[in-house]
Amino acid sequence: MVAKVVSALVAIGLSFGLNWVLRPQFDTHYAAAEYAQQAGTLMLTHQGASLEIPLMATHIVTTDVVRLGKRYQVRELTLRAATSGEGWPRTELFVGLAQGGGDLLGGARDASVLAQRELPLARTGRLGARPSYIVLTGTERSDVVSGSLWVSDVRQEAGNVQAEGRVELQVQTGTGVNMVTGKWSGSIVWDAPTET
């Protein structure tokens, strides 16, 4: 009986390890100066209090990751707090751009297609590798349970793409699930499409 239990545990461990090694991986890295440069703002309201979070440029990522012959599409927009040092940013939210299995962007590199759209916040981004979260008080990260980003306006200004909208999200805190609402504005940068 013990041998069967041990062999089952070994099989589960091997299966988990194999899945971990073979999973598709994707991440992006930008210049250190870009992480620190404020290019937008997220103004949030939570339990009657206001919170202003400076954001780095909002990035749109459209890439395909091929792993063992299978193609995984990454179509997301990232709202990330500007940071000046090491460690986690105060906020990192991933917004899904692959609406209903289709490609909202359709291969076009025109951010204006996002205007007047409600886009879902994803619980994770980068093919599930990084969670969407926000730090509301102190240093405790609150994971996003669900939510949406409404993009009300996208416009060209002096060669830059500027956008604004509102955000509504439900986050898991130490006291349960709480609603957070707010306004977002900032510049949008389109990452070069890649295939890895």
In this model, does residue 172 exceed pLDDT 60? Answer: yes
| Structure confidence by residue, pLDDT tens digits, 35-65 | 899 999 999 998 888 999 999 999 988 877 7
Q: Of 55-64, 94-103, 111-120, 158-167, give the lowest mean pLDDT range.
A: 94-103
Taking CA 83 as the corner, what is the angle to CA 94 and CA 90, rounded to the nearest 5 degrees? 50
Percent of the chain whose predicted confidence (pLDDT) is above 90: 42
Across the chain, mean pLDDT equals 82
Residues making up the chain, counted from first to last: 196
Whether 6 maps to a domain, the answer reads no
Whether 134 maps to a domain, the answer reads yes
Q: Of 6-15, 107-116, 122-131, give the lowest mean pLDDT range.
A: 6-15
CA distance 79 to 187: 10
The number of domains in the chain is 1
Cβ atoms < 10 Å from Cβ of 95: 23
In this model, does residue 18 exceed pLDDT 50? Answer: no
pTM: 0.80
In this model, does residue 103 exceed pLDDT 60? Answer: no
| More confident site: 177 or 156 | 177
Domain span at residue 54 reads 28-195
Percent of the chain whose predicted confidence (pLDDT) is above 70: 79
Which helix H or strand E contains 171, and what residues bound it? strand 160-173
Hunting for tokens 């499409």 — which residue is that?
193
Cβ atoms < 10 Å from Cβ of 28: 13
Q: Of 93-97, 107-111, 170-174, give the lowest mean pLDDT range.
A: 107-111
pLDDT of residue 160: 87
Closest CA to 182 of 47, 39, 50: 50
Whether 76 maps to a domain, the answer reads yes
pLDDT of residue 99: 64
C-alpha distance across the termini of the chain, in Å: 46
Q: Which residues pair with 54 in a beta bridge?
A: 41
Whether 123 maps to a domain, the answer reads yes
Closest CA to 184 of 169, 170, 163: 163
In this model, does residue 106 exceed pLDDT 70? Answer: no
Taking CA 155 as the corner, what is the angle to CA 150 and CA 160, rounded to the nearest 5 degrees? 115
pLDDT of residue 22: 47
Whether 9 maps to a domain, the answer reads no
Whether 11 maps to a domain, the answer reads no
Whether 20 maps to a domain, the answer reads no
